[in-house]
Amino acid sequence: MTTSAWRRGMAGVALTALTVAATVTGCAANDEPEGGGGAYTLWDPYPQFAGGSDWEKLLQSCGGSAGVTVRRTGYDTTDLTNKALLAAQQGNSPDVLIIDNPVISTLAQAGALTSTDETKLDTSASAPNLLGAGQLDGRTYGVPIGANTLALWYNKDLLGKAGVDVASIKDWPSLTAALAKVKGAGKKGITFSAIGTEEGSFQFLPWFWGSGAQLTALDSPQAVSALTLWKDWLARGYAPNSVINNTQTTSWQEFAGGDYAFTENGTWQRANAEKLDFAYGIIPVPASAGGTAPAPTGGEFVSIPVQRDTGRYDVSRKLVACLTNPDNLLTTDTTLSYVAPVAAVQQKQIAADPGFTVWVDAVNAAKGRTGDNLGTKYPKISEQLWTAVQGALSGSKSPQAALTAAQDAAAAK
């Protein structure tokens, strides 16, 4: 999720965004964007790509095809979310906005984005589960440019020495049995991030959803079983107490040290994985009773903000269509370590790298955090979820008590 907000504490950003959004009473754009009528503005969360980069060249190529100049600004995701809401309030929205998928519902509810019905953007090729993150009240507010998600990375050498056949790991009992063997061999089982931020919720969701739980019922028996799984792993020494404070970066660093059999992490670690001193593999996060657990999707949507001059939408639509066409998606998603949102492009990614298959499978089973029409309710629910995880893993509450308190608090907001 190259620059996705949860990696920088998305929940706090979203809650701040909600406060700003509440003040938005009218959303219009510049009548005349900087540079004149032949210039179209685009904001994205990729400040790492400077002028002359392949990304910048693609933007200018798409602008040239549409007969306009693209004036692009790259922001840090946190900054971009706040600037997008403020721009909508002030009537200075860019023509095209590329933004982290959980923010879409906040902007849509604020009236800052056009729907694909209005602008006639074609989303038919995009995977429905990825589109779900950009939908609110039956409308879609952009086109996904790419996605990433979570899976289990494993140390092949360590598992071999512990006598674990990774093919035997199909569900929670078989995974727990593998962790027991690893510990019995004198090594460490699994590390992950359970920090009290959106990262913690993001990492817990595959287990939460993999139990069959729903975000509208945080204290269901299924949800309790998921949190109990994590708590038991700590109690048995299969996972370290450090997970309570681990970010996804620090949990990866623990895994990279070579003493852990597994880590839960994402596609964005692929470059770091090539630097490991041991052979590694990747398997999907298993669901409780078998199969692949739904993991949360990361990634961005390309959207068209509301403009006072609706005549600008035609060119904006051409720009979005260019950025999200199959040929350009392949290049862009390879650069961003994203899984393409289009099946045909996913197959090209697999053809180029067969090891990418596990990530394609994981993304195809994934869910949007704001899906199920949760929209702007999600940040409130997520905050209570990570609070419950912290309470249970620290030992201050039982899993049932922690999740009951979480459900009560989420329902009261």
Query: Domain segments of the chain: what residues?
Result: 5-148+297-364, 150-295+374-412
Please indicate whether residue 32 or residue 133 has the higher confidence score (pLDDT).
133
Mean pLDDT value of segment 301-306: 97
- Of 132-141, 173-182, 384-393, the range with the lowest mean pLDDT is 132-141
Structure-block tokens of residue 15: 């809650």
- Residue 107, pLDDT > 90, answer yes
The pLDDT value given to residue 334: 86
Q: Rounded distance, CA 142 to CA 115, Å?
A: 7
Whats the size of the chain, residue-wise? Answer: 413
Q: Fold identical between 5-148+297-364 and 150-295+374-412? A: yes
- Of 3-17, 159-173, 186-200, 366-380, the range with the lowest mean pLDDT is 3-17
Give counts: helices (H), strands (E), the chain.
Answer: 18, 11
Q: Rounded distance, CA 136 to CA 108, Å?
A: 7
Confidence of residue 26 (pLDDT cuts 50, 70, 90): very low
- Residue 18, pLDDT > 80, answer no
- Residue 136, pLDDT > 80, answer yes
Q: Rounded distance, CA 93 to CA 96, Å?
A: 8
Distances (CA, A) of 396 to 219, 290, 393, 401, 402: 17, 31, 8, 10, 9
**Tens of pLDDT, residues 32-49:** 333 345 999 999 999 988
Q: Is 413 exposed, middle or buried (0-12, 13-18, 19+ CB in 10 A)?
A: exposed
Please indicate whether residue 3 or residue 177 has the higher confidence score (pLDDT).
177
User: Residue 205's closest CA among 289, 268, 342, 298?
Assistant: 298
Residue 41 is inside which H or E element, if any?
strand 39-44
- Residue 15, pLDDT > 70, answer no
Average confidence score pLDDT of the chain: 90
Residue 191 is inside which H or E element, if any?
strand 188-191
- Residue 277, pLDDT > 90, answer yes
Whole-prediction pTM: 0.84
Q: Which fold has domain 150-295+374-412?
A: D-Maltodextrin-Binding Protein; domain 2 (3.40.190)
The pLDDT value given to residue 382: 95
CATH superfamily membership of 5-148+297-364: Periplasmic binding protein-like II (3.40.190.10)
Residue pair 348/164 in contact (Cβ under 8 Å)? The answer is: no
**Tens of pLDDT, residues 216-271:** 999 999 999 999 999 999 999 999 999 999 999 999 999 999 999 999 999 999 98
Biggest alpha carbon distance in the chain? 69
**Tens of pLDDT, residues 148-207:** 999 999 999 999 999 999 999 999 999 999 999 999 999 999 999 999 999 999 999 999
